[in-house]
Structure 1
């Protein structure tokens, strides 16, 4: 089983069986029960991620998960979209990365409107906000410590810090039941437009293959010194966490391939 702490498109190409078994957790306590039940992979998601997420930054959260569960492969999610951010989470102990925002701005994301993609491309990563406003309007029972990272707009500004009042008036803003949210373009001033802080790395709408290929993973061009070509050598002792990550995750994937 793959229990993860995020809901994003995988950087690692996981088989469908693992994807179907996924669960969303964004804090440390739930991971204990999942590990006891035989979890194959944990995906630690930081608050930098787009969409529903918790409040803790990726690196301290990731480091804590890796320390507590040393025998379970861990993927990192939230704010990752280039070689340097990938290298950072590998240095912190992750076995790989899980990308989300980058894949929204791709031709393959057919349910994501062109307006949404354009706003991601135009973002420098600082125009997002963690908010519970849209969850309050939806009426869905999300836990109090979970919100959504979305594009900051007039609606989020108006109701920030006024969540109690919004609960009393949520019917005024509830979407009509007969409207398909994928048909009409989102309104930049009022609509929920989720994406994470890694939007700062997305400079164009490009094929999904670009985000799982050399532009992200090529050490010589995009990785900082010290996490470079030597990591392709299985005998590299300085970066053994990276060299063992492939077989660790490979064993999990192979076990689900039969």
Structure 2
């Protein structure tokens, strides 16, 4: 009886807690960071991925790290990629084979330690961040099962199952970031991130707004590679 009385009187309280997470790589040897540009797919795009991603990461690194963020007039990766483009056909009219060749050339540049060592030498041996970014839209419209309650002629509730056609559009963001040592050109860490969002027919959202929404989800994991982070949550205590 006493136990039941205590249980009845017990109450719970939620308190906020923070769990520290160590960074995945140690960047204490670097004073500067260079966002060197990004590889994107050839062809027309709804969002200028490379410059938008470069600017966004520069702002985040400036706000969330102690590293000096270098801002060259032209990202070093651009010149190397343009040399690959010169070998291909007229801009905007690339064949499947040319797109594949460009992808292979871009992968080779991203993994070229000597190229990145020279870039690091030019910019006083910073931490270099580069990689590949992709952003796609998909039509996710289709039939979706649903349940609803209707009443018959005697006003009795009845569960009815059926399908309803929904107009939905989705966007996906895929990023592979390379973290390079500007002193040697070697890769310190490489990581892929994927985010996706779906919108209903009544939501009119531009591709650029969707890109920023997805990057906002991705950024804590990106920053967690080079700087300690805190996971915020709650803990329930018996009062």
TM-score (norm 1): 0.21
The structure with the largest strand share of the pair is 2
**Higher relative contact order structure (alpha carbons within 8 Å, sequence separation ≥ 6):** 2
The structure with the largest helix share of the pair is 1
